Amino acid sequence: MKKLIVAFAVMAASACSSMPGGQSLAGFTEEPMSGGRYRIAYAAQDEASAKVVADRALARAAQVTLDAGNDWFEVQSKIDGKLDGHNTQTLVIVMGKGESLAGGPKQYDAKQTLASLRDKIS
């Protein structure tokens, strides 16, 4: 399963990495997956640190969760990487409404997460 997740992360990063003409493409991608999961990928366009990239990916996961009408999300897997010398991060999340699952360390309230990261990601 871990090899499959790594393969998907590489594919997602590759999809973000280049455009015709050799231009670099950075930013976010979101992709629905089976089982109600989403893959959120972020590739920095600047020299952002791994921490800033992680905050941006987490904020995007929170925004996607709210846009889908959900209250919370849980990070099921996280892959950090480099693409053309820039930091990247891919998250696989599952979302839900109402009470969160067990309240573990990988679960986030989407509104609170987005609010707490706003100043850090600009």
Q: What tens digit of pLDDT does each residue of 19-78 get?
A: 333 334 579 999 999 988 999 999 998 888 999 999 999 999 999 999 999 999 999 999
Q: What tens digit of pLDDT does each residue of 95-121 get?
A: 999 876 656 668 999 999 999 998 877
Ordered by start, the domain boundaries in the chain are 2-121
pLDDT of residue 30: 93
Closest by Cα among 26, 118, 43 to 87:
43
Q: What tens digit of pLDDT does each residue of 77-90 get?
A: 999 999 888 999 99
pLDDT of residue 118: 87
pTM of the model: 0.75
